[in-house]
Amino acid sequence: MKEPRSLAVVVAHPDDDAYGCAGSIALHENDPGFRFCLVLATDGGAGEIAEGVPTTAAELGAWRRRESANAWRAHGRIPDRHEWLDYADGRVHEVDFEELVGKILDILLQERPQVVATFGPDGITGHRDHIAVGKATDEAFARARATPGPGLRRLVHGALRASTFERWNLRRHQEGLAPWDPAVEYHLRPVPDEWIDIEVDTSPVADRIVAGLLEHKSQLDVLVGPNMDERRWARMASRESSVLAWPGRPPGSPLLTDLFQGL
């Protein structure tokens, strides 16, 4: 008898979770026994505040916690477990590594999800908090697997295809915007197309991904940028790409088309 499908998403900030796996969650929400655990290292209290959002720097963390809950309600699949590690935004990379690993390890051992999703070494944007959370999750996953039990079958890193990055940058150039520079922190960082192991068609649920993203109102200036509309955003959300951090995909084997394929 197969284990019910389960997923743990471990990221740094509210809104990091709104892309990357949100489509896969929607695609599997009706699977028997499906469970979704969300772990956020920080409430994002040091982030920007979009114009017109009625909050202050002192209250932004609490505001973004509410945005996170609202986003998953708008998406339509509320996490079964929504865990906050309560670290200071922008300071996660300064946290003692063993402490961070230990907190994530405790959750992974309690949940024993089939799939764990986090950031790769590039943090997608080079954000130091992203990189710290990804590195700690990788280590926690390895340690959790050493304890016998179910789950923990796959570790994936969210990733941006180089070909997609180039297409987006071309569009930015055409619109008179500065291109993304992978050498600059907070700018997008692509990985070579051949590194991608999982490519999920999320076009049937792209509107739900966008609905969730739109609830992160305080961060819309960062998330959306100029010249973006919901239709274009939905096109950008129509696929999710990941790298298999563990176990690796056998050389020459086809791309997986689902986070749980083959489990």
Residue 124 lies in a domain: yes
Q: State the pLDDT at residue 228.
A: 61
Q: State the pLDDT at residue 177.
A: 86
Residue 90 lies in a domain: yes
Give mean pLDDT, residues 200-217: 94
Residue 177 lies in a domain: no
How many domains does the chain contain in total? 1
Separation of alpha carbons 52 and 221, rounded Å: 11
Q: What is the pTM of this model?
A: 0.95
Residue 10 in contact with residue 158, Cβ under 8 Å? no
Residue 253 lies in a domain: no
Separation of alpha carbons 41 and 72, rounded Å: 17
Residue 102 lies in a domain: yes
The tokens describing 124, both together, are 């997608």
Domain extent, residue 103, equals 6-159+192-246
Q: State the pLDDT at residue 168.
A: 86
Give mean pLDDT, residues 194-216: 95
Give the CATH number for residue 215: 3.40.50.10320
Residue 263 lies in a domain: no
Handedness of CA 17, 64, 133, 5 (dihedral sign): negative
Strand partners, 242: 158, 198
- Kindly tell me the burial class for residue 241, based on how many C-beta atoms sit within 10 Å of its own C-beta (0-12, 13-18, 19 or more): buried
Q: State the pLDDT at residue 225.
A: 62
Give mean pLDDT, residues 38-45: 97
Residue 132 lies in a domain: yes
Residue 258 lies in a domain: no
Looking at the predicted structure, is the pLDDT value of residue 245 above 90?
Answer: yes
Report pLDDT digits (tens) over 58-87: 999 999 999 999 999 999 999 999 999 999
Q: Point out the least confidently predicted range of 11-15, 84-88, 173-177, 229-233.
A: 229-233
